[in-house]
């Protein structure tokens, strides 16, 4: 079931159900992709039809960010809760480490994906990372070929939004992978170059605030959140 939040259809799933569905897609024939939009991306979708189509065309649309949960509540169609990209990725890697599927890490600054791979293999013994590449390449074709040649069944695509969503739509099938997941800044975290907010901030839904304090230059991007809530309230008024 999908819940419409300002035009973006979010899958109404708990974190565990999302991982279960991700594993099902990983084993299903064909190429599938997952997106994890936050309010900033919903706002971007509203301003760009191609981005909206890329997001709504995903096989799984997960509510990353407390703002989306508030938005859904304001609209009178609540979601079960957040499914952050990071927790989804962690759940998948845990399962993949057990069952032996292969993973490719794409994105972030040069060296980060390799660093992330080293950390993740230590953290998830048995996880098979078969290739990495940074996210600052010019041509798609050699990267697509590199993924295909690696035989990866899953790819974490961490190029930032909406670049990664458009990239997955355009290149997903040619990579030969069954599951591509758009994960924004996750490789910055997995590589140890960016710290995730302390658990207390995560639990309170204040991760965005922690991030803002560490990177004040994000204020412009974060102003999209109140805008998003205002739009949700306006939409609620129209639905009544």
Residues at the site binding ligand UDP, with contacts judged by CB under 6 A: 107-109, 135-136, 158-161, 163, 184-185, 187-188
Cα–Cα distance for residue pair 96/130, rounded to 1 Å: 13
| Residue from 105, 79, 86 nearest 180 by CA | 105
Cβ proximity to ligand UDP: between 154 and 159 the closer is 159
Cβ proximity to ligand UDP: between 97 and 184 the closer is 184
Q: How far is CA 212 from the centre of its chain?
A: 19
Q: Which residue is nearest to ligand UDP (CB)?
A: 135
Contact 158, 186 (CB under 8 A): yes
Cβ proximity to ligand UDP: between 15 and 160 the closer is 160
Cβ proximity to ligand UDP: between 41 and 179 the closer is 41
Q: Least distance (Å) from ligand UDP to the CB of residue 138?
A: 10
Q: Least distance (Å) from ligand UDP to the CB of residue 109?
A: 5
Q: Least distance (Å) from ligand UDP to the CB of residue 97?
A: 23
Q: Least distance (Å) from ligand UDP to the CB of residue 135?
A: 2
Residues linked to residue 128 through DSSP beta bridges, in sequence order: 102
- The tokens for 189 are 């975290």
- The tokens for 64 are 């990353």
Three-class DSSP category at 205:
coil
Q: Distance of CA 137 to CAs 109, 130, 160, 224, Å? A: 10, 19, 14, 28
Cβ proximity to ligand UDP: between 109 and 236 the closer is 109
Q: Least distance (Å) from ligand UDP to the CB of residue 159?
A: 4
């Amino acid at each position: 079931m999908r819940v419409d939040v300002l035009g973006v259809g979010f899958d109404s799933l708990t974190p565990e159900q999302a991982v279960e569905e991700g594993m099902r897609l990983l084993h299903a024939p064909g190429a599938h992709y997952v997106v994890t939009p936050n309010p900033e991306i919903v706002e971007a979708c509203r301003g760009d039809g191609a981005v909206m189509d890329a997001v709504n065309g995903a096989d799984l649309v997960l509510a990353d960010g407390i703002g989306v949960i508030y938005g859904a509540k304001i609209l009178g169609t609540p979601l079960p809760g957040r499914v952050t990209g990071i927790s989804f990725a962690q759940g998948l890697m845990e399962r993949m480490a057990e069952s032996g599927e292969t993973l490719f890490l794409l994105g972030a600054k040069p060296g980060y994906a390799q660093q992330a791979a080293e950390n993740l293999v230590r953290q998830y013994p048995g996880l098979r990372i078969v290739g990495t590449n940074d996210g600052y390449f010019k041509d798609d074709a050699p990267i697509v070929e590199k993924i295909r040649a690696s035989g990866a069944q899953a790819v974490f695509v961490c190029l930032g939004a909406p670049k990664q969503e458009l990239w997955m739509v355009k290149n997903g099938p040619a990579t030969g992978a069954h599951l591509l997941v758009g994960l924004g800044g996750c490789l910055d975290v997995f590589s140890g170059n960016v710290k995730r907010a302390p658990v207390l901030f995560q639990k309170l839904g204040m991760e965005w605030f922690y991030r803002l304090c560490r990177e004040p230059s994000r204020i412009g991007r974060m102003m999209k959140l109140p805008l998003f809530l205002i739009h949700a309230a306006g939409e609620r008024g129209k639905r009544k």
